[in-house]
Amino acid sequence: MSPLLEAVDLRRHYRVRTGRGPFGTKALLRAVDGVSLQLSAGRTLGLVGESGCGKSTTGKLVLGLIPPSAGTVRYGGGDMPATGSSAWRALRRRIQMVFQDPLGALDRRLPVGVQIMEPLAIHSEQAPAERRERARAVMDAVGLQGHQFDRYPHELSGGQRQRVVLARALITEPDLLVCDEPISALDVSIQAQVVNLLLDLQERLGIAYLFISHDLKVVRQVSHDVAVMYLGRIVEQGEAESLFAEPAHPYTRALVSAIPSVGERRERLLLQGDPPNPVDVPAGCAFHTRCPFAVAACRSQTPPLRARPDGRLVACLRADEPALEAAA
């Protein structure tokens, strides 16, 4: 059976100016540089990594919101139609999105109920009364009350607004939801509610999620599988539970060791500094400048993303060494 979503060697490069003044030089920024993903129906793939590593760009590529510089996205076994084409718009019913900032995603001048119905106006021939009924049903599903239909976004709390965005995404009955930092802008007390809602909706409706977040703790709660990105590439990918229990890539080890309550039980591996500038990615393994285990070979050889016998994918030259010793 083909997966619901398959991305093969996706790349998205941007020409950017670097340096100062009118004569700044042009450089190539590899926002996404060879990402392959698979996601099956009803499952959640978590996509993690520090800010700027290419998570949102990957999400937009998967949604067809931006075309790839290279590589393909396949959906339900077929190629993603060209961005903006009528076939693409039809497919967009099946793939919806939820972004970080619900207020930014909503129109301040329209009642939320009208906005929840909006995708139906674009995607279906249903009568207005039918749409209204459907909107009330999804509002109920996400825990909003009927009387909130006529409220404006600023009259709702942040958590309620994110429920509105979710209701709007769900109204076309999608198979896949791309959630890009869906709870990062919410109060901590509300975050758990929205996470539980997402889990509950998946169980009831069988929706697959591409769950993008820099917050590993949340990704751990929701994901069946996890892909870890660093500077535009996946450096480790695997089944969530085993990946968090035994991260193999030094970068994943560092991220996991920084999760409170998980990290405490393990070695502490602190990441030095920020990720390098993505227009000037270090040669060899892009992580070598921050890796405590880097040896000479890591500065010249780019490690391929290789599958271990247990299915885990790891891009590290030293990943097979049983006890990885810090380099001198």
* Contact positions with ligand ADP (CB under 6 A) in 236-295: 278
Among residues 34, 42, 52, 276, which is the contact residue for ligand ADP, using CB under 6 A? 52
* Contact positions with ligand ADP (CB under 6 A) in 14-43: 14, 16, 29, 31
Nearer to Mg ion among residue 56 and residue 252 (C-beta): 56
Nearer to ligand ADP among residue 64 and residue 278 (C-beta): 278
Nearer to ligand ADP among residue 17 and residue 306 (C-beta): 17
Q: Which residue has the CB atom at the shortest distance from Mg ion?
A: 56
Beta carbons within 8 Å of 71's beta carbon, 6+ residues apart: 7, 8, 9, 10, 11, 34, 35, 36
Whole-angstrom distance, CA of residue 288 vs CA of residue 293 = 8
End-to-end Cα separation, the chain, in angstroms: 48
Under 8 Å between Cβ of 252 and 228:
yes
Q: Which stretch binds ligand ADP (CB under 6 A): 55-63, 97-105, 287-295, 311-319?
A: 55-63
Tokens of 36: 């392959």
155 is an interface residue for ligand ADP by CB under 6 A: no
Of the candidates 188, 198, 92, the one whose C-alpha atom is nearest the C-alpha of residue 143 is 198
Q: Which stretch binds ligand ADP (CB under 6 A): 54-62, 189-197, 199-207, 283-291?
A: 54-62
Under 8 Å between Cβ of 7 and 209:
no
> In this structure, what DSSP letter does residue 296 have?
G
CB of residue 191 vs ligand ADP: minimum separation in angstroms? 19
Whole-angstrom distance, CA of residue 261 vs CA of residue 258 = 9
* Contact positions with Mg ion (CB under 5 A) in 52-91: 56
Q: In the sheet where 208-212 sits, what is the strand order?
A: 95-98, 176-180, 208-212, 44-48, 225-230, 233-239, 313-314, 306-307
Q: Which stretch binds ligand ADP (CB under 6 A): 48-56, 218-226, 296-304, 312-320?
A: 48-56
Q: Which stretch binds ligand ADP (CB under 6 A): 46-54, 159-167, 306-314, 317-325?
A: 46-54
CB of residue 50 vs Mg ion: minimum separation in angstroms? 10
Nearer to ligand ADP among residue 16 and residue 324 (C-beta): 16
Total site size for ligand ADP, rule CB under 6 A:
13
CB of residue 54 vs ligand ADP: minimum separation in angstroms? 4
Instruction: Spell out a b/e string for 254-282, using b for 16 or more CB atoms within 10 Å of the CB, else e.
Output: bbbbebeebbeeeeebebeeebbebbebb
Nearer to ligand ADP among residue 61 and residue 291 (C-beta): 61
Whole-angstrom distance, CA of residue 129 vs CA of residue 120 = 12
Residues near Mg ion (CB under 5 A): 56
